[in-house]
Chain A
């Protein structure tokens, strides 16, 4: 049995969405987290070593880090086709987008919210990410082409969180609209609040 440790309106919401897409049996454990505005706090019920979300338990196994959880889940439920499997020609691009989310997008976006903003190399990394992302969507309509994947759920979550974080290009608006129309997201949002 999968258990998702979740806090409303946080980085864990998109994993309710992914679990809904996968049709996987799961339960949600609502936990509190320390919020930017000072509300909430670490929850002893959360198995994450730093009391962050998401955290996923599969039986006794704990999985943390959003990209790792996404890959773990799409490999565990391959029939849902939310991520190319080992041997698929799109496996490499899929893993690249997942790791780019963790290793480039998150730290670079973090720098945008830091006092003083991004430095020159971070701004350059942001610009290149922006270009690569828009390029993929223009050819797409999804990051991997014609088929949606868990990488799209991670990337679109930035636009859902703050559309203005990226530029005004229509390709982002269309992507956000296309992803937001998915029935699994609607089901997930009904379960977001405790």
Chain B
């Protein structure tokens, strides 16, 4: 039994997209994180910060996107969305999964609220370095770890789509535009977009 806890228009959209790509059966639970006082208090047992996404698989809760993505792709390897343990692409794949949470997201957050900081004092470095790393990687190969789409691409594409195309907070270079077209053009993305809003 697999359940995704999701709120429309939030970071949990990526996990929903991943589940669609994996092609597995799951139960979609909407969590109203924008309600007065946040999500219902009993949700804290699943996600201590009452944030989304969270999954519960066979009774075990998994939170944090890098963890959810790595967990699901290894649990359902037949979808081929993660290089297996021992595959030379496994290392870069894990690096990018974590990079999304540990660098890309905090760097963008800092930019949105206008923080200034000494890059030697934080773990995540500068906005310009982040842009350069993504641009350099996607100029060399169509996907982050080479020629094959993985869950690391999906994880980054969700945030990148938000930052580049919705917020216009990052330059839409040809390499980045091509990557966003390739990833958000997938049928799984469209299905996730359709399912991600509660029926009105």
B114 to chain A, nearest CB (A): 12
Complex partner residue of B64 from A49, A64, A100, A107, CB under 8 angstroms: A100
Residues in B81-116 with C-beta less than 8 Å from chain A? 85-86, 88, 90-92, 94-95, 97-99, 101-103, 105-106, 109, 115
| Assembled-state Cα–Cα distance A98/B70 (Å) | 11
Query: Residue on B with the closest CB to A78?
Result: B85
Query: Residue on B with the closest CB to A76?
Result: B85
Q: Is the CB of A98 within 8 A of B48?
A: no
Question: How many inter-chain contacts with C-beta < 8 Å in the A-B complex?
Answer: 139
Q: A99-B66, A99-B101 are in contact. Are A62 and B92 (CB under 8 A)?
A: yes
Query: Residue on B with the closest CB to A36?
Result: B120
Chain B at the A interface: mostly helix, strand, loop or mixed? Answer: helix
Q: Is the CB of A60 within 8 A of B88?
A: yes
B86: chain A residues at CB < 8 Å are 76
Q: Is the CB of A110 within 8 A of B123?
A: yes
| Pairs A–B under 8 Å by Cβ, sample size 19 | A36-B118, A50-B133, A61-B92, A62-B91, A62-B92, A62-B95, A63-B95, A64-B99, A65-B94, A66-B98, A68-B91, A92-B67, A99-B67, A99-B70, A102-B98, A103-B102, A107-B124, A114-B117, A131-B48
Q: Give the interface of A toward B (CB within 8 A).
A: 11, 34-36, 49-50, 52, 56, 58-69, 71-72, 75-76, 86-87, 89, 91-93, 95-96, 98-100, 102-104, 106-107, 110, 113-115, 125, 128, 131-132
